[in-house]
Amino acid sequence: MNIEWNIERFEEVASTQDILKNSSANSEGHVIVADRQTQGRGRYARQWFDGEGNLMFSFALEPRCEARFIGQLSLIIGLAVHNALQGFIDTPEKLMLKWPNDVLLEGEKCCGILIESSLSSSGLIDKLFVGIGINVLQAPDDMGVSLSRYSSSSLMPSDVLHAVLGQVESLYTRFQNGEAEVLLHEWSAYAHEIGQPIEVKPHEGVLKGRYDGLDELGNLYLRLEDESRKTISAADIFLL
Ligand code: BTN
């Protein structure tokens, strides 16, 4: 199954994610990429830094699978970005995945992924809107890291874009062909280890415990101090 990528470029937009969502042409393969974003947004309505020379884009997929599989898709997109970025830095072994889909370089965030969806009346994922920000040349002063810090060659955001879209196409096709379980194993190979102490911040409060793997839908298992296990489907996690 090939995705026909249709790339629309802008110099400046408020948010590529909103342009895509509001476009009447947002069918599978439609990509919005911008050099600058004035209101780039992240998960939990956080702001996203738009440094010059960074990559900011959003694309649409139409998986038409049940909504419960969204967690798998979220991890698979993170894995696709991770795999693509390996080709752009001198030390690919320093890349790592953090649940659900952050990509870290030596423990610091170099990419953020925002996933939003719309469901059909029968509960299928009609559209998946995937927004990706990659710190190619710059990172915000207070957090994060750029790819350029780990690369001896000059990096072009458009090369990174094409590599990521290529990986998304390849992994998404495997997902559609029933390979989700294998893909989650591949994700786990690049993620924090079982037993890693973590702090989980769901919508409210904080939970501390140890990472205890994924369930078959890509939810996180948190092992609490009393050894009970909690399933987390949406939260930010912090590695301790
Ligand atoms: C996060 O880590 O919280 C997700 C950040 C996602 C940022 C990207 S940049 C391109 C796209 N447009 C947006 O407004 N947000 C996403």
C-beta of residue 129 within 8 angstroms of C-beta of residue 60:
yes
Which regions of the chain carry the CATH code 2.30.30.100? Answer: 197-239
CATH number corresponding to 197-239: 2.30.30.100
Which atom of ligand 1 is nearest the CA belonging to 42?
A: 3
> Among all chains, which residue has been given the structure tokens 């990706």?
132
Q: Which residues contact 230 (CB under 8 A, 6 or more apart)?
A: 207, 209, 221, 222, 224
pLDDT confidence band for 72 (50 / 70 / 90):
very high
Confidence (pTM): 0.96
Asked if the model's pLDDT at residue 142 lies above 80, the reply is no
Distance between CA atoms of residues 28 and 180, nearest Å: 20
In short, whether 46's Cβ falls inside 6 Å of ligand 1 is yes
User: Facing residues of 115 across strands?
Assistant: 130
In short, whether 209's Cβ falls inside 6 Å of ligand 1 is no
Which regions of the chain carry the CATH code 3.30.930.10? Answer: 6-189
Distance between CA atoms of residues 59 and 144, nearest Å: 23
In short, whether 144's Cβ falls inside 6 Å of ligand 1 is no
pLDDT tens for 181-221 read 999 999 999 999 999 999 999 777 899 999 999 999 999 99
Distance between CA atoms of residues 231 and 68, nearest Å: 14
The fold of 6-189 is: BirA Bifunctional Protein; domain 2 (3.30.930)
Dist. CA 224 → ligand 1 center (Å): 31
- Ligand 1 atom 7: the closest Cα is on which residue? 133
| 178, 184, 187, 191 alpha-carbon torsion, rounded to 10° | 170
How many angstroms from the chain centroid is the CA of residue 96? 12
